[in-house]
Amino acid sequence: MDVQPANSRLYFDYVKTTLYGLTTALALISTAEAKIVQELTEQLPQANSSSIKFVAQSASTSSFERKDPVFKEVGRGEMQWWWFSLYRARLLTLDGDYSSGEYPVMLDIEYYQDIPSARLVEATLDQWQHIGVSEQDQQQWLSAISAVWPDVTEGDSLSLKVISPDSSQFYFNGEPLAEPLPKGFSNDFLAIWLSEQTSRPELRKQLLGELACDC
């Protein structure tokens, strides 16, 4: 009779000790898990920061790649009419050297006088006739420029940016004008200044960098 109570106490002590051990182990496990979760949580802002930085850098790079190319001046010259300076013209390419048939290329004209668009169109037609542009092309090109050219005042700039023989567009004070121009237009327009048949051979040499201009 005395043995059973003793055995019972030993059994309950064993059970109690075992349960305590299990409880302690579970507590330790929970603490370890909590610590792991905390460490992971602390690492998340760093990961997010790195991700944000990477995305920002990628966006910046993408934005840079989309920027318009930087043009360098090949040459510049002034258009004189009697004792008037009508405009200053500049020829630009990506490397500052010009070769016929290589693109992109840009012709930029800054006006010194107020000139109505109708007068600009008329003067351009005169030059196309001078260098021998076909009648059919003259009419097509006239229609294109008449639709987009504005009146210019002193200080205004009108630029033609040529990406390829089939892709070109006018810009007025840096802003694009309407839609890109018809295929083949740019060659005949640039020829007004760059063709060997130009009516202004001195200006041609200045634009090509063969003759300096203090302008």
Among the listed residues 92, 204, 108, the one whose alpha carbon sits nearest the alpha carbon of residue 152: 108
Asked if residue 121 lies in contact with residue 192, where contact means CB atoms within 8 angstroms, the answer is no
Residues in the chain where the model's pLDDT stays below 50: 1-8, 10-12, 14-15, 18-66
Q: Residue 207, exposed/middle/buried by CB under 10 A (0-12, 13-18, 19+)?
A: buried
Q: Say if pTM beats, i.e. exceeds, 0.85.
A: no
Q: At what angle do helices 135-148 and 117-131 cross, to 10 degrees?
A: 160
**What is the per-residue DSSP string for 150-169?**
PPB-TT-EEEEEEEETTEEE
Cα–Cα distances in Å, from 196 out to 100, 105, 129, 160, 168? 12, 18, 14, 20, 22
Per-residue pLDDT of 158-199, as tens digits, reads 999 999 989 999 999 999 998 789 999 999 999 999 999 999
Query: Is 91 in a helix, a strand, or coil?
Result: strand
